Structure 1
Amino acid sequence: MFTIITGAQFGDEGKGKIVDLLAKDYDVVARFQGGNNAGHTVKVGSEVYKLHLIPSGILLESRVLIGPGVVLDPEVLMEEIEMLKGHKVRVDPAKLGIDAKTSIIMPYHIEMDGLREAARETKIGTTKRGIGYAYIDKVARDEVRLAELADRERFLARLEELAPQKEKEIAVMGGDPKLVRDPALIEKYVELGKQLAPFMTDVSREINEALDAGKHVMAEAAQGTHLDVIHGTQKFVTSSSTIAGSACANLGVGPTRVGNVIAIVKAYITRVGEGPLPTELSGELGERLQKAGGEFGTTTGRGRRCGWFDLPLLKKAIALNGYTEIALTKLDVLTGLDPVRICTGYRFNGEGTAYPPELTEELAECEPVYEDLPGWEADLTEVKAFEDLPENARNYVMRLEKLMGVPVRYISVGPGRAQTFKKE
């Protein structure tokens, strides 16, 4: 069975927690796009793990893979491996595999990313981790791949080939081109390549052979649907394709092998950085959701903008991903709010619409149309079953389920592994 999990909103929906919950039933968990601009937070007992590149299945018995659609900062990955080892989590080549074709984020990518964002009149909110420029080089066929990084002579030859171009680009942007051939940085990357060489594998072959053997494979996304580089709210998007179809392309798995596509959906909506958010709440209510939900970015620490549940954006996410079931997270954060509101449509140019306009600037002009439901006061964080939720919380979930037209299979009421249950 091949299952794909993606975020249905703007990221930060709780994918890491759900992957961690489900990974016990999967033999392989593979990350298929993005880089260390994303972060998954998983809480196990009193331990909190903040993962940026390694799939959340690392905390269980799954074989975890980083696919060639990912762009990889080798220094960040080694820091993550050491962090996990410090928590007594096994990370060795039998546990973790990285595709040989995975693109490497080079120091010059990070420099160029920061210079470009600083020069923008309208910021897009990049994390300045070099992600976008690494993807540019992948498309331009100017990438450094893990297979090259792991071979000193090939790496040095590739860098020598690319260096003049990168030096010119950085100079034009107002940076210091000497960074590109800095001997200390080069030696650091050579050493990182040596450390990562044992982890190299062919991810497509591994996954297809696992599926042929009847094993269960999960593909894990980073970010969320509306940050997709093609279908998201351009230009305020990430640099990769975040939707379910991207898993097949980026891992090398045929679409006929997909058996299940799970949406991770927050019981409200958040967004980090710039871009439209039609249901955004300002002032005290927005701050209350931010504080109650711990809405601060795993990667950047930036506060997330918060808003009411946005059904039109969710309906588009369902269309883009073909979801078969939904995991609803952070229901507990809405406790104490009355009413709880669902945006069921927009007013745009004086007319009603139940689906988002295609252009970002038009979405920014949409006014939400709300349906109000009564709230609840009871603390949900100890609830273990759907029938034990307060009646109004159950009604909220069932109303969302009806409006979305996709069954809610899991409900999360807190950050801990034990705070998620099945909705039978």
Structure 2
Amino acid sequence: MRRFFGICSTGRHSQVCAVVGSQWGDEGKGKLVDILARDYDIIGRFNGGANAGHTVIVGGNKFGFHLLPCGVLYPKTLNVLGNGVVMHFQTMLEEIEQVEKAGIKCRDRIFISDRAHIVTDWHLEADGAQEKSMKSGGIGTTKRGIGPTYSSKMMRIGLRVGDLLHWETFKDKYLNMAEFYKRAYGLQVDGAKELDTLEKIRDQIKPMIVDSVYMIGESLQKGKRILAEGANALMLDIDYGSYPYVTSSSTGVAGACTGLGIPPSKIQTVIGIVKAYTTRVGAGPFPTEITGGVGEHLQTKGKEFGVTTGRKRRCGWLDLNVVKYTHMINNYTSVNITKLDILDELPEIWLGVGYKLNGVNLKSMPSSLEDLSKVEVEYEKLPGWKTDTSKCTNWNDLPQQAKNYIDRVSKILGIPVTWVGTGPKRENMLANPDYN
């Protein structure tokens, strides 16, 4: 029987839904993807690599994912790593083992695009060498080889997953790429050892390698539902983020099209994940950053340490200027506010609602880091609720002041808030009854 779908703000009734970060990453995208995944046939990761990380807590088990989509936790959900992803196979296999130890079989539900590029030891070494060579001290990469792998792709010397199916040709391509990194960076990597490792890995992953473009296209024609899972966030986008303090891929909804092969007209729902405050890892301008007491409180209570690197995240007030900018590009049908509970103890909560530069109100997000670092933030101040929202089991349990905060965010953005997170567990995701 053919299923019919329409535009849906929550993602519950659309054929294709994209979940993307609206700030500088670490918003908590994985939790909503995990909740929605049960209703979708395919979860597709469309960008990034093992540089991204999220934690999902299910039935007392804690899963840390860097590459695998959250759909691996559901026994009937298929999981696709699209052509826009860069694959570090050792990380993926470790994550598969983690899931299998919890008693969940997933190998036959994981599919890797034959067009996805491979992260090698050369890329890992080049990442570290490039970071050390920068006069400014680097941009704070995760040193997972992401940038160099995408660079190899753009230079057309990269290795694609499908190349593994033609081993002799793959070896030639590998050695050609290795020669470039030897000459460009003076690197020394045991290439023979890595080739031996990759040949063994090839035997394990061979059944997973597919033409993902055809798989996605055929699934759409058959009426299957697809949830596109983004890594990082739009302020880290290679084109639209705070360049050069960005990642190396397209992190917005456009990345779902280029990184999975989904036609733009098929995406009916785009949910922007908005952390109730703002964080970022590494260097770069951060207009609403808080130093001192409140910032330390957010960092400590929010456990703001990177899943991938363990680095402390810088913390600040929710910057709606950033979210409005990313909405302009991603066109969110709704937003999910996460980690509301981290604000529970604060007597007053600030919202960044405008920027001024040299006394002039800005209408757009500065592309210049020099300008962004100098903006003066206009704030609205709202009373806190001083109530433990992690104990709320549904939307109506939220204290009125918390609802006022949510309503104000929704009004400023002009977008409905359809979900609110009040803790790390699945049951801590509250659905707005006006939309769900």
Question: TM-score by structure 1 length?
Answer: 0.96
Whether 1:273 aligns to 2:306 is no
Question: Which residue in the other structure is 2:368 paired with?
Answer: 359
**Residues 60-75 of structure 1: pairs in structure 2 closer than 5 A:** 60=74, 61-75=76-90
Equivalent of 1:203, from 212, 216, 219?
Answer: 212
Kept in 1: contact 2:357–2:375 (CA 8 A): yes
Question: Which residue in the other structure is 2:172 paired with?
Answer: 157
Shift of 1:352: 2.1
Q: Secondary structure of 1:144's partner?
A: coil
Equivalent of 2:264, from 255, 258, 279?
Answer: 255
Shift of 1:208: 1.7
Kept in 2: contact 1:103–1:144 (CA 8 A): yes
Aligned mates of 2:209, 2:56 — CA distance in 1: 26
Kept in 2: contact 1:344–1:354 (CA 8 A): no
Instruction: Write the deviation string for residues 371-398 of structure 1: whole angstroms up to 9, x where unpaired.
Output: 0000011101121222211111010000
Q: Secondary structure of 2:112's partner?
A: strand
**Residues 86-235 of structure 1: pairs in structure 2 closer than 5 A:** 86-93=101-108, 95-122=109-136, 123-171=138-186, 175-176=187-188, 179=189, 181-235=190-244
Q: Secondary structure of 1:25's partner?
A: coil
Aligned mates of 1:69, 1:105 — CA distance in 2: 13
Question: Which residue in the other structure is 1:284 paired with?
Answer: 293
Shift of 1:161: 2.8
Aligned mates of 1:301, 1:160 — CA distance in 2: 34
Query: How many residue pairs end up in the alignment?
Result: 417
Supply the AA of the counterpart residue of 2:85.
V
Q: Secondary structure of 2:271's partner?
A: strand
Shift of 1:405: 0.5
Supply the AA of the counterpart residue of 2:284.
G
Instruction: Write the deviation string for residues 95-137 of structure 1: whole angstroms up to 9, x where unpaired.
Output: 1100111100011010010001011122200011110010011
Q: Identical aligned pairs, as a percentage? A: 40
Shift of 1:76: 1.1
Aligned mates of 1:270, 1:408 — CA distance in 2: 20
Whether 1:343 aligns to 2:352 is yes
**Residues 239-250 of structure 1: pairs in structure 2 closer than 5 A:** 239-250=248-259
Kept in 1: contact 2:333–2:415 (CA 8 A): yes
Aligned mates of 2:133, 2:60 — CA distance in 1: 42
Shift of 1:356: 2.1
Shift of 1:150: 4.2
Shift of 1:68: 0.6
Supply the AA of the counterpart residue of 2:177.
L
Instruction: Write the deviation string for residues 305-330 of structure 1: whole angstroms up to 9, x where unpaired.
Output: 11001011110010010110111100
Supply the AA of the counterpart residue of 2:132.
A
Equivalent of 2:47, from 33, 39, 48?
Answer: 33
Aligned mates of 1:160, 1:400 — CA distance in 2: 53
Question: Which residue in the other structure is 2:37 paired with?
Answer: 23
Q: Secondary structure of 2:80's partner?
A: strand
Question: Which residue in the other structure is 2:9 paired with?
Answer: none
Kept in 2: contact 1:5–1:264 (CA 8 A): yes
Question: Which residue in the other structure is 1:42 paired with?
Answer: 56
The unaligned stretches of length 5 or more in structure 2 are 1-14
Kept in 1: contact 2:157–2:173 (CA 8 A): no
Question: TM-score by structure 2 length?
Answer: 0.93
Kept in 1: contact 2:237–2:246 (CA 8 A): yes
Supply the AA of the counterpart residue of 2:359.
G
Shift of 1:350: 1.5
Question: Which residue in the other structure is 2:10 paired with?
Answer: none
Whether 1:391 aligns to 2:396 is no
Kept in 2: contact 1:344–1:371 (CA 8 A): yes
